[in-house]
Every structure is written in C-alpha cells, then in structure tokens.
Amino acid sequence: MSTFRKILKYVVRNWVWFVISIVAMFISTYINVYIPQLSGRVIKNILEIRDFSLLVSLVIQILALTGVLAVFSLIQRYANGYFSQKVVFDVRNDAFKSIQRQSFGFFDKMQIGQLMSRVTTDVNRIRGFMGWQLGMLFSSIFLLIGVVASMISINMELSLISFSILSILFLSYSIFGKKIRPIIHKAREHYGDLTSALWENITGIRVVRSFAQEKYEMEKFQKPNRRYYEMMMQAVRLRAIFTPIGSLIIGFSLALILWYGGIQIINEQFTIDMLFVFISYVFMLIRPIIMLGFIWTGYQRMLAAADRVFEIIDAVPEVKDKPNAVRLPSIRGHVVFEDVSFRYNKDKMVLKNINLEAKPGETVALLGPTGSGKSTVIRLIPRFYDVTSGRILIDGYDVRDVKIRDLRRHIGIVSQETFLFNMTVKENIAFGKPDASMDEIIRVAKIAKAHDFIMRLPNGYDTMVGERGVTLSGGQQQRIAIARALLMDPKILIMDDSTSSVDVDTEYEIQQALSALLKDRTAFIVTQRISTIRNADKIVVLSDGRIVEEGDHESLMAKRGMYYRLYQTLYEAQKEALGLGTIKPTVQRPRIRSCNPGEEER
C-alpha cells in the first residue's frame, strides 16, 4: 500500500470534520470569487453611471459578504484544525502502540534518537500538511476553477495569455518539489542521527565528564550536525533559485496583460472596469498556482516524513502471538530447554544445542566468561527473542504456543541495567501491578531490604526518584527493582546480576530474605557473587554458547574443570570483602592461567 493511501485511512476515519471544513471552504471561495465582480460594478458606477445610491448599495453588499466570508473562514479553520490534530493524534498513537509491541530485535537495530525523531518531528510534519496545506489544496482547486471560469467569461484572449505564462510558474514549482523531496528525506535521517547523539551524550554526561571526553563528544556530535547542515543548505540553495524565478514569471505575466489589455481598451474592445476585474482575478489566480507549488513541495516533504513514521507503524514484531496461541494457566515453574540454538540476526550462533532443565522451586545459577551466552539464555525464557532452533517448555507448554502476555505475567525479571521511571518510589514498585495495596508494596520492599532507606527519603514512598532513578544510588535502584519483580508474585524469577550494585552485607540480607521466597519458585540467576553461586541448587557453566559443566557446587569443585577455576578467581577477588581466609581445596589445585582464568587447560 502506498504511503498516501495509508494516510488516507486516517482521513477517512475523521471524515466528518474534514467534510465540514471542505463545505465551509467552498462557500468562502465562492464569496471570494464574487467580490471582484461587485468591485468592478463599483468602478463602472464611478466612471459611467455615477449613481450614489447604487454605490452605497454595492459597498454594503461587499461589507456584508466580507462578514459572511469571515464566519465561514472561522468555521473552516476550526474544523480543519480539529481534523488535522485528530489525524495526528491517531498516527502518533499507532506509532507508539507499534513501538510497544515490537520485540527486542527491533530496538537492537533502531536508534532511540531515530524513534524519537519519527514520533515527534516527522509526525508534526504530517500535521503541518493536514492542518494547513491539505486545506489550502482544496481551497486552491476551488479558487482555480472559479477564477478560470470567470476570466474566460470576461476575455478569452487575455485568459489564454495568462494561462500560458502561469502554467510555466506551476511547472517550475513542480520541478522544485521533485528535487527537494529526496533532500528532505535524507535530512530527516541525519536529524534522527543528531537526536541519537544528543540523547546518548545527555544520558551519559556523568561518564563523559568523569573521563574528560567533552572534546571527543563534541567532535562526535559535529558529524551528524554537519551532515544535517549540509542537506538543509542544499534545500536553501534550491529555494534561493526557484523563488526569484517565480517572481520573474509573475511580473512578466502582469506586464503582458496590462499591455494587451491596454491596447484593447484604446481600440474600445475592452473596458477599464473589466480590466480591473480581470487583473484582480489574475492576482487571485497567482495565489493558488503558487500555493499548489508549495503544497506539492509540502506534500513531498510530508511523504518523506510519513515514510519514516509508517516504517514504525508497519513494522512486524519478530516475536508475536500465534493466531492459535493458548492461555497459560497457573504454572509450577518447570522449565526445560530442548536442544536450543540461537543467533542474533545473521550473526554466528550465540547458543548451541542447549539442553537444560530447571525443576519447580529450583534455583539455577548461570556462570561463564563474558560473551558465553548467559544473558541470552534468560532472555529466551520470557520470549524477548525466539529460539533459532529447538524449543523451550514451561510446564510442558512451548513458550511460542502461549500468549506472550500470559507468559510474562508468570515471570519476574530484575535486570543488571536497572531502569526506574520518573515517578514515585511507590509507583515504580507497583509498575507491574498498579492496583497493589500499600501493604503489598511495603511487604515486598522489606523483602528486598528497601523499606528502611525508603522511609528515610524526604517523602517516603511518595518521593519522586527522578529521571532513570538519578536521585538514588545504584544499590537502592536495584533493591526497588527487586521489589517490583517480587510484587508480581511470579512462579519464575530471573535475576541478571541484580545484586551487583549492593554491598556484601546488603546482598547477604537480600539473599536471606529471598531464600524463603524462592522456596516455591524457579529462579535463574546470572551472578558473579560466590555466595549466590554456592547456594544455588544447580550451577550451569557456559562457554562459547555451550553448556560445558552442570551440577552443584561440591560436585563441580571436585571435577577441577572450568567452574573450579572460575570459582577460584571469583573467590580471590571477593574473599577480602567477605572476610574469609584463603580457600583450602580438598583436591590439588590446577595451574591457573592469569591471562584467561576461564580457559580450559590444554
């Protein structure tokens, strides 16, 4: 479907106000075309008849029509304004709705600045066309028909001269519109890059300042800014060329009409009052011709913006419900990976033939070097991505066969990168369950060891946390995120290094509180904390996307394999904080390569 037809659907959806606007516009145009004829009669009366009463009558008629014109112009502007705002309201809602249903792969490809630019600036460009230029299009067409008919009825020869010259004016603006559309489209792309660079710099300003990289960031910002500037300058040069051409054509047309019309008056083939009316119509004709040129340019710019907006609206989620997806009933939390492999886009396999079982109530710790696939494993459980091959079962249900909303309702997630909304503490905790009572919120906050510090905040649970939780420490943010996940009372809990920003004492308190809560829940925990690892029912060690070891702490230590070496490295790094002495292994400790503690010995 073409972009125009897609926009037309929104026009049809709000057709009542559009029709009101068109009717009012038609009446206004008719009055505008009729007023010059009354003005011509006034001049004829002054030059020939010289009837005072007729002069008064004609002037009163002009004033009355001007008043009626003002009323219908008001109706037309209001109706058109309401219509355009409603169209853009629907477009923006659909764009945001599409963003909400997209899978994670969509955001891996699309920059945030690009999304912001399309949902705001590009949508506003659509509003500009719908609100002003679309109305002017119909007004220009009505005016063009009325004026052309009136000019032909007055003088055919002068009309043909005018039309032949003014058609060149229309052609020049059409060429202008055709040339400027690709420039504007590229400019919008560069503007999105500019917005992305700005957003990234502002959100990471503390890191920039910490590393004194202001100069580097300025140079990085100048690249998209320069590209945007250069594209806009191309548009400026085009306008600078075509605008004087239009003025030259208009001036030449007027001079030719005065010359030929003057000859006809001298030869008594034409009258002064009719020449006045005809010139009035020529000026009225210039307006719709110029407007049609601008409208065509605006239409091209609007299409360029709409292409970008509909790229979002029409985006098909990679992960979505099947047509016959079933409801997921209450679950026990039995999770099984059957020969699961996965790749992002066309990259190499990130996970290779993963076979893993987590029984109800079991805690599984995932361990491995950076890039081994730990986080990918836990992202597949709630279907943030779909497996490339194999399947994941929850209580015997393939996660691809159940409704996504039901699936995620049973899963609580606390990610490594904590995100808090610019709302109160209470609202952030209750984000997944907005109707939660205050008692429920306080209960999970106490479990997450967040209640005490919350009560010390200026307004307690009603304290605003600021954008991205900037007013709270990293540990405080993570404890609120843990409380938020626990409030949903999930049967499956996923924690991606979620205690990385809390001190050891706080982590111990959280683990003590969670131990009772995890009793009847299946938990997947990605962590580097040895206290968490040792307490897990099952430890899964990954390397290069494969499971290389699996078992409990004691059995894996006895194997003296990759887990043993990773554990030794983590222990040495954390023993001082834990207040422990040197580890005394029950078996001979193998040589550990300092360059890569997790590498298998040859």
Reduced to 3 states (helix: H, G, I; strand: E, B; else coil), residue 532 is helix
Q: How confident is the model at residue 209 (pLDDT cuts 50, 70, 90)?
A: low
Residue 210 is predicted with a pLDDT of: 60
How far apart are the C-alpha atoms of 133 and 292, rounded to whole Å? Answer: 9
Burial (Cβ within 10 Å: 0-12, 13-18, ≥19) of residue 582: exposed
Please tell me the pTM assigned to this model: 0.64
The tokens describing 176, both together, are: 């202008």
**424 within domain boundaries:** no
How far apart are the C-alpha atoms of 527 and 511, rounded to whole Å? Answer: 13
Q: How far from chain centre, in Å, is Cα 162?
A: 48
- Encode pLDDT of 446-479 as tens digits: 888 889 889 998 889 998 887 766 778 777 887 8
Q: Residue 358 CB: number of other CB atoms within 10 A? A: 22
Q: How confident is the model at residue 338 (pLDDT cuts 50, 70, 90)?
A: very high
Quick one: three-class SS letters along 447-479? HCCCHHHHHCCCCHHHCECCHHHCCCCHHHHHH
The tokens describing 112, both together, are: 């945030």
Residue 159 is predicted with a pLDDT of: 80
- Given a cut of 70, whether residue 27 has pLDDT beyond it is yes
Residue 587 is predicted with a pLDDT of: 38
- 269 or 595, which is more confident? 269
How far apart are the C-alpha atoms of 164 and 282, rounded to whole Å? Answer: 12
Residue 35 is predicted with a pLDDT of: 80
Q: How confident is the model at residue 504 (pLDDT cuts 50, 70, 90)?
A: low
How far apart are the C-alpha atoms of 437 and 454, rounded to whole Å? Answer: 17
- Given a cut of 50, whether residue 143 has pLDDT beyond it is yes
Q: How confident is the model at residue 594 (pLDDT cuts 50, 70, 90)?
A: very low
Angle at 236 between CA 292 and CA 139, to 5 degrees: 15
CB-based contact 17:90 (threshold 8 Å): no
Task: Look at residues 463, 440, 461 and name the one whose alpha carbon lies nearest to residue 452.
Answer: 461
Axis crossing angle, helix 474-487 with helix 504-517, rounded to the nearest 10:
0
CB-based contact 260:157 (threshold 8 Å): yes
How far apart are the C-alpha atoms of 35 and 127, rounded to whole Å? Answer: 32
**177 within domain boundaries:** yes
pLDDT, mean of residues 55-78: 85
Residue 285 is predicted with a pLDDT of: 77
Task: Look at residues 33, 16, 575 and name the one whose alpha carbon lies nearest to residue 283.
Answer: 33
How far apart are the C-alpha atoms of 66 and 5, rounded to whole Å? Answer: 37
Residue 357 is predicted with a pLDDT of: 92
- Given a cut of 60, whether residue 498 has pLDDT beyond it is no
Q: How confident is the model at residue 597 (pLDDT cuts 50, 70, 90)?
A: very low
Total count of domains within the chain: 1
- Given a cut of 50, whether residue 596 has pLDDT beyond it is no
- Given a cut of 70, whether residue 221 has pLDDT beyond it is yes
The tokens describing 75, both together, are: 């109706």
The tokens describing 449, both together, are: 């060891």
Q: How confident is the model at residue 591 (pLDDT cuts 50, 70, 90)?
A: very low
Residue 398 is predicted with a pLDDT of: 92
CATH number of the structural domain spanning residue 221: 1.20.1560.10
**CA torsion angle 429 434 436 442 (round to 10):** 20
* Cα distances (Å, whole numbers) of residue 524 to 300, 533, 546: 52, 11, 17
Q: Are strands 538-543 and 363-367 parallel, antiparallel or unpaired?
A: parallel
- Encode pLDDT of 544-583 as tens digits: 889 999 998 888 888 888 888 888 887 776 665 555 554 4
**Main-chain phi, psi angles of 395, to 5 degrees:** 55, 35
pLDDT, mean of residues 353-373: 89
b/e string for 436-465 if b means 16 or more Cβ within 10 A?
beeebbbbbbebbbbbebbeebeeebebeb
**527 within domain boundaries:** no
Residue 291 is predicted with a pLDDT of: 74
**36 within domain boundaries:** no
Q: How confident is the model at residue 337 (pLDDT cuts 50, 70, 90)?
A: very high
- Encode pLDDT of 380-398 as tens digits: 998 988 899 999 999 989 9
Is the Cα dihedral 40, 46, 48, 53 positive or negative? Answer: positive
**285 within domain boundaries:** yes
How far apart are the C-alpha atoms of 417 and 456, rounded to whole Å? Answer: 24
CB-based contact 281:151 (threshold 8 Å): yes
Residue 517 is predicted with a pLDDT of: 61
Q: Which domain holds residue 190?
A: 92-313
**228 within domain boundaries:** yes
pLDDT, mean of residues 161-178: 72
* Cα distances (Å, whole numbers) of residue 506 to 74, 206, 460, 513, 519: 66, 26, 20, 11, 20
How far apart are the C-alpha atoms of 508 and 175, rounded to whole Å? Answer: 72
The 546-551 sheet, strands edge to edge: 411-414, 492-496, 522-526, 363-367, 538-543, 546-551
Q: Residue 535 CB: number of other CB atoms within 10 A? A: 16
How far apart are the C-alpha atoms of 581 and 568, rounded to whole Å? Answer: 13
Reported residue count of the chain is 602
Q: How confident is the model at residue 584 (pLDDT cuts 50, 70, 90)?
A: very low
**361 within domain boundaries:** no
Reduced to 3 states (helix: H, G, I; strand: E, B; else coil), residue 337 is strand
**62 within domain boundaries:** no
**CA torsion angle 111 482 411 538 (round to 10):** 110
Largest CA distance in the chain: 125
- Encode pLDDT of 507-538 as tens digits: 666 665 566 566 678 989 887 777 778 888 89
H-helix or E-strand containing 541? strand 538-543
**Main-chain phi, psi angles of 315, to 5 degrees:** -60, 130
